[in-house]
Amino acid sequence: MAALTDHATRQLTLLGALVTQRRRALNFSSKEKAAEACGLSHVPYRNVEGGRPVSESTYAKIETRFGFEPGSCQAVLAGADSIKLTDGTELIAGGQISRPSFDEMTDALKQAITSAARLTAPNLTLGQTDELTDEVVKELQRRGILPSGS
């Protein structure tokens, strides 16, 4: 087998880290339990987490059981830095990007503004803080950044 390039080694290592991260998020207590759930023996599964190349069918089994979009493992090996999950979120090294609804974004924004107002302007009353929050949300709706009517 030909020696791996630095890029290939980095991508295999990244894929191993992403698979490990997802295994932990799915609460598999061991690599062996994850391998079994994927319909694999522990050796190829350990190779994936260890950043070593395996067959495409091994990657496909992990993708299916771990909720990765089909082809995600190969995409990482080709240079992608994240894995798309079937639930619409994206798995990145060290975290997971979610795609919140506009209502969730609006609620989170209101909470952030209220929290920031309390920290930076503690003399504001609750009513003033609520008014400030509402005005920021309305302005973002006028600019088309947030949907109207939230």
Convert the pLDDT of each residue in 25-72 to its tens digit.
899 989 999 999 999 999 999 999 999 999 999 999 999 999 999 999
- Residues 91, 120, single domain; the answer is no
- Residues 62, 121, single domain; the answer is no
Q: In angstroms, rounded to a whole number, what is the distance separating the alpha carbons of residues 28 and 21?
A: 10
In a domain, 1, yes or no: no
Q: Is 46 left (phi over 0), alpha (psi -120 to 50) or beta?
A: alpha
- Residues 116, 45, single domain; the answer is no
Q: In angstroms, rounded to a whole number, what is the distance separating the alpha carbons of residues 54 and 12?
A: 10
| pLDDT over threshold 90, residue 140 | no
- Residues 15, 83, single domain; the answer is yes
Contact 43, 105 (CB under 8 A): no
- Residues 42, 116, single domain; the answer is no
- Residues 81, 23, single domain; the answer is yes
| pLDDT over threshold 90, residue 147 | no
Query: Which tokens belong to 61?
Result: 């089994």
CA 74 to chain CA centroid, Å, is 17
Strands (E), the chain: 82-84, 90-92, 95-97
| Reported pTM | 0.64
Domain total of the chain? 2
- Residues 113, 90, single domain; the answer is no
Residue with the bigger pLDDT between 146 and 52: it is 52
Q: In angstroms, rounded to a whole number, what is the distance separating the alpha carbons of residues 92 and 46?
A: 20
In a domain, 131, yes or no: yes
In a domain, 149, yes or no: no
* Host domain of residue 127: 102-142
Residue 139, class by beta-carbon neighbours within 10 Å (0-12 exposed, 13-18 middle, 19+ buried)? Answer: exposed
In a domain, 19, yes or no: yes
Q: What is the mean pLDDT of the chain?
A: 90
- Residues 81, 130, single domain; the answer is no
- Residues 136, 83, single domain; the answer is no
CATH classification at residue 46: 1.10.260.40
